[in-house]
Amino acid sequence: MHLSHDPAAPPAAEIAFDDFLKVDIRVGTILTAEPFPEARKPAIKLLIDFGAGIGICKSSAQITENHPIESLPGRQVAAVVNFPPRQIGKYMSEVLTLGFADDAGAVMLFAPDRRVPDGSRLF
C-alpha cells in the first residue's frame, strides 16, 4: 500500500469503523532525540513516554527538515503503538510517529493543541 503525500489525492478506500478501532493511536512525550546518521533517509531517533499502560518506546522519525533535534524533548506527539516493531538499519523502531506533509513534502509532527495525559488514545 502506498500512501500519497499529495493533499489533492482522493481518499483511501473505505473501511469499516471496526477496522479504524484496530489502530491504536496514543499520545506520548518525547524524552530524548538523537541523530540517526545510519538511516538511509535523514531521521531522528526518539525515545517516547506513553505513560504507565504502554511505557517508553523507541521510534525512528524522518522529521529532520522541520524539527530541530534540540526542540523535540518535552514535546508531545501522536504515534501508532500496535504495529509490530520495525528494523531500521541497526535500530528497532517500536512505534510509528505520526505527521503530515508540509507544502514541500517534509514531515510536520502531529500532536494535540494542549497537553493531554501521556497514553491518551485517539478516538
Domains, the chain: 22-106 (2.40.50.140)
Length of the chain, please? 123
Please give the average per-residue pLDDT across 85-105, as a whole number: 94
Query: Phi first, then psi: what are they for 17, rounded to 5°?
Result: -55, -35
pTM exceeds cut of 0.85: yes
Please give the average per-residue pLDDT across 67-80, as a whole number: 98
Alpha-carbon distances, residue 67 vs 72, 73, 77 (angstroms): 7, 11, 12
- The answer to whether residue 1 scores a pLDDT higher than 50 is no
Q: What would the pLDDT profile of 15-70 be if each residue is shown by its tens digit?
A: 999 999 999 999 999 999 999 988 889 999 999 999 999 999 999 999 999 999 99
pLDDT band at residue 4 using 50, 70 and 90 as cut-offs: low
Residue 32 has a CB neighbour count (10 Å cut-off) of: 15
Please give the average per-residue pLDDT across 98-123, as a whole number: 95
